[in-house]
């Protein structure tokens, strides 16, 4: 019977049999476990026993443990030298003789980036240079191809391996992806074979973005007598009723089984252990979701942060056309119409206009997982590209995700002047992110939201349709009525009470703060609340006088020319005129460009 291999392993085998290469770089999910033959085994073990099982001699090498023979037939020259040495300068020449003179030999090099690391050759040691040249020579060696020998280099991020190897046309690269839905389903069944099909499907879905080894760690039943502290608390509360007592008992009974807890308390659990099946499922999914987030954040070394949005568009005041546009996209996502979902959004406008707040509300409305990219740039050579690849791999694995990038002009600048002083890192980063963003297979699964107040500093090609299809302008409220929408939304957001009414109090309140930013409005609302608290009430009602006192006391920081410049940039980038206020909707392109040119000169050097 023909053995069924994962798609990446089948690709590796086919490319090898076609004679495409004798040296392969396997990258991506190389530190995972693969389910094969009813067992979960490491990628190296899987390659040894399921892909290269017909090799007469099979060796695994890394700089920590040296060479280990998985299989060997016949006499091998310099065997003792191979077994005793670990450094590449000692091991690689011996392996080369074996590969050139032997037949049907397989070599798996684990952590290949430690053998031939990326970096400036000026700072390389003689050993590093020798390793790079040796591996490059192997890729061109006819002896390997003629003797049916193969070398597999395993590295998580290809940019950490020396470019002379990765970019070599005689080296074939194969990416090991994160587990697919079907593969996760099989792993869940393997870890806990007693689960019914409904639970298996649900757990397979929620564990998207996790490695097989992580799924096993999360889903493996706890040792006898151990369980999650929160679950223990809920169980005890079902027995005693009183929350305070249950908390104390939960802390004292750590490590005890439920039967022992019942005996200690002297109360038997109600029917069904006091936990309905649906409640138990919710608890399990909540726990898995929490551990999944912790695992992924740790995997990315703190380069990403999950967005837990507690608000939707209901607390977003004003910008009705923007909310209408985003609500339609969110509806298409929820109803599965992926082809009608844009590849990405560009949120642009002055600081304090609510770009981040609206992006978080969109995460809630769409039902997608939201993550924010932190600063992934590094001063170390190759580290920035490595960080980006790690992030994109996680994003691809999670799927159904909104990627929020604040201050996008800093992360993905124009690559002009910035790229000249960093060895081309900025240019490579921008090129890679553009490639990922234009991958149409991600439509409806991965949605980018880039935010900036200086879209003119963004690489122009990243803003094109097919990457950032919709450009959403965020402007300061242009009228007293727009101000009122934002003020009332902020009152709702902070769960405050007020007896202010509009349009009754328009002339006394909102008309005086037209042109302020949304951030200024929030500061005014909170300042008005402080003034009300000074009266001695614990839950005061905000009156007109409180707002007037706050307005009189508040001093917004303003650079009028720069703010106008940022507003006009947002207007210039906008996808639709209907999202613009009347002040700008009728403005001609020539007038807009002329005013932008004037402001650019006067604002030169300012941010």
Report the CATH number at residue 577. 1.10.8.60
CA distance 594 to 586: 15
Q: Do 491 and 422 belong together in one domain?
A: no
Q: How many CB atoms lie within 10 A of CB 123?
A: 8
Coil/strand/helix, residue 93: helix
Which CATH number does the domain housing residue 75 bear?
3.40.50.300
pLDDT band for 3, please (50, 70, 90 cuts): low
Which of these ranges, 156-170, 334-348, 399-413, 564-578, has the smallest mean pLDDT?
Answer: 399-413
pLDDT band for 277, please (50, 70, 90 cuts): very low
Q: Do 493 and 463 belong together in one domain?
A: no
Q: Do 335 and 378 belong together in one domain?
A: yes
pLDDT at 303 over 90: no
Q: What is the mean pLDDT of residues 174-197?
A: 88
**For 349-372, how does the pLDDT look when each residue is reduced to its tens digit (9 = 90+)?**
888 888 998 999 999 898 888 888
pLDDT at 16 over 80: yes
Query: What pLDDT does 80 receive?
Result: 78
Query: What is the rounded end-to-end Cα distance, in angstroms, of the chain?
Result: 67
Q: Do 330 and 448 belong together in one domain?
A: yes
Among 430, 449, 473, identify where a domain stops.
473
Q: What is the mean pLDDT of residues 28-51?
A: 90
pLDDT band for 304, please (50, 70, 90 cuts): confident
CA distance 434 to 413: 12
Q: Do 80 and 115 belong together in one domain?
A: yes
Q: What is the mean pLDDT of residues 494-516?
A: 88
Q: Do 319 and 398 belong together in one domain?
A: yes
Q: Do 357 and 495 belong together in one domain?
A: no
Q: Is residue 566 part of a domain?
A: yes
pLDDT at 417 over 70: no
Q: What is the CA radius of gyration of the chain?
A: 30
Among 473, 501, 520, identify where a domain stops.
473
> Smallest Cα–Cα separation from 71: which of 46, 47, 105?
105
**Boundaries of domain holding 494:** 478-607
Q: Do 19 and 166 belong together in one domain?
A: yes
Q: Do 507 and 452 belong together in one domain?
A: no
Q: Do 449 and 311 belong together in one domain?
A: yes
pLDDT at 77 over 80: no
Provide the token pair at 595: 């005013």
Q: What is the residue-averaged pLDDT of the chain? A: 83
Q: Is residue 268 part of a domain?
A: no
**For 424-478, how does the pLDDT look when each residue is reduced to its tens digit (9 = 90+)?**
677 778 888 888 898 888 888 899 999 998 888 888 888 888 889 999 999 888 8
Q: How many domains does the chain have?
A: 3
Q: Is residue 598 part of a domain?
A: yes
Burial of residue 84 (CB within 10 Å: 0-12, 13-18, 19+) is exposed
pLDDT band for 202, please (50, 70, 90 cuts): confident
> Smallest Cα–Cα separation from 315: which of 363, 371, 357, 367?
357
Q: Do 524 and 562 belong together in one domain?
A: yes
Query: What pLDDT does 267 receive?
Result: 56
CA distance 248 to 303: 37
Q: What residues contact 337, with CB distance under 8 A and at least 6 apart?
A: 444
**For 245-271, how does the pLDDT look when each residue is reduced to its tens digit (9 = 90+)?**
777 677 666 666 677 677 666 655 544
Query: What pLDDT does 60 receive?
Result: 95
- As a whole-number percent, the residues of the chain with pLDDT over 90 amount to 24
Q: Is residue 19 part of a domain?
A: yes
CA distance 261 to 250: 9
Alpha-carbon dihedral 36, 41, 44, 47, rounded to 10 degrees: -10
Query: What pLDDT does 38 receive?
Result: 83
Q: Do 399 and 485 belong together in one domain?
A: no
Q: Is residue 380 part of a domain?
A: yes
Among 473, 505, 524, identify where a domain stops.
473
């Amino acid at each position: 019977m023909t053995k069924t291999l994962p798609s990446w392993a089948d690709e590796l085998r086919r490319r090898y049999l076609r004679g495409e290469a004798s040296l392969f770089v396997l990258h991506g999910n190389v530190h995972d476990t693969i389910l094969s033959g009813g067992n979960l085994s490491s990628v190296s073990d899987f390659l040894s026993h399921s892909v290269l099982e017909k090799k007469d001699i099979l060796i695994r090498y890394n700089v920590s443990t040296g060479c280990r023979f998985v299989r060997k037939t016949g006499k091998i020259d310099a065997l003792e030298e191979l077994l005793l040495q670990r450094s590449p300068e000692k091991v690689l020449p011996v392996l080369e003789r074996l590969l050139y003179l032997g037949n049907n030999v397989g070599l798996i090099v684990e952590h290949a980036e430690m053998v031939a690391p990326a970096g400036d050759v000026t700072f390389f040691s003689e050993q590093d240079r020798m390793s790079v040249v040796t591996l490059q020579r192997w890729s061109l060696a006819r002896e390997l191809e003629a003797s049916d020998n193969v070398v597999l280099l395993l590295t998580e991020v290809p940019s950490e391996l020396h470019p002379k190897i990765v970019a070599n046309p005689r080296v074939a690269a194969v990416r090991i992806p994160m587990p697919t839905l079907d593969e996760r389903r099989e792993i869940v069944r393997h870890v806990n074979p007693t689960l019914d099909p409904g639970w298996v499907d649900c757990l397979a879905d929620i564990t998207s973005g996790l490695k097989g080894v992580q799924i096993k760690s999360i889903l493996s039943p706890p040792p006898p007598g151990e369980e999650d502290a929160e679950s223990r608390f809920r169980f005890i509360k079902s027995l005693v009723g009183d929350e305070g007592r249950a908390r104390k008992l939960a802390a004292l009974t750590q490590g005890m089984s439920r039967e022992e807890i019942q005996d200690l308390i002297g109360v038997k659990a109600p029917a069904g252990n006091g936990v309905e099946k649906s409640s138990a499922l919710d608890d399990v999914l909540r726990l898995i979701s929490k551990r999944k987030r912790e695992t992924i954040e740790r995997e990315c070394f703190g380069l990403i942060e999950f967005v837990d949005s507690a608000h939707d568009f209901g607390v977003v005041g004003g910008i009705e056309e923007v909310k209408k546009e985003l609500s339609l996209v969110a509806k298409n996502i929820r109803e599965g119409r992926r082809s009608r979902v844009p590849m990405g959004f560009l949120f642009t406008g002055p600081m304090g206009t609510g770009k981040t707040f609206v992006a978080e509300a969109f995460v809630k409305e769409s039902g997608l997982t939201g993550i924010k990219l932190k600063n992934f740039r590094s001063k170390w050579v190759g580290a920035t590209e490595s960080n980006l690849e790690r992030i994109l791999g996680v994003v691809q694995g999670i799927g159904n995700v909104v990627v929020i990038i604040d201050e996008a002009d800093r992360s993905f600048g124009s690559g002009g002047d910035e790229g000249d002083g960093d060895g081309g890192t900025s240019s490579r980063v921008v090129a890679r992110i553009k490639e990922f963003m234009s991958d149409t297979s991600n439509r409806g699964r991965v949605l980018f939201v880039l935010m900036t107040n200086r879209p003119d500093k963004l690489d122009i090609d990243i803003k094109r349709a097919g990457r950032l299809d919709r450009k959403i302008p965020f402007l300061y409220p242009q009228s007293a009525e727009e101000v009122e929408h934002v003020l009332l939304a902020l009152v709702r957001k902070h769960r405050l009470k007020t007896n202010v009414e509009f349009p009754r109090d328009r002339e006394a309140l909102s008309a005086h703060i037209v042109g302020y930013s949304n951030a200024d409005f929030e500061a005014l609302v909170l300042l008005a609340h402080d003034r009300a608290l000074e009266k001695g009430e614990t839950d005061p009602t905000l009156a007109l006088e409180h707002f007037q006192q706050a307005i009189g006391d508040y001093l917004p920081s303003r650079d009028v020319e720069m703010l106008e410049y940022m507003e006009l940039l947002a207007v210039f980038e906008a996808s639709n005129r209907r999202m613009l206020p009347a002040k700008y909707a009728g403005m001609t392109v020539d007038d807009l460009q002329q005013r932008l040119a004037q402001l650019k000169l006067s604002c030169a050097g300012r941010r």
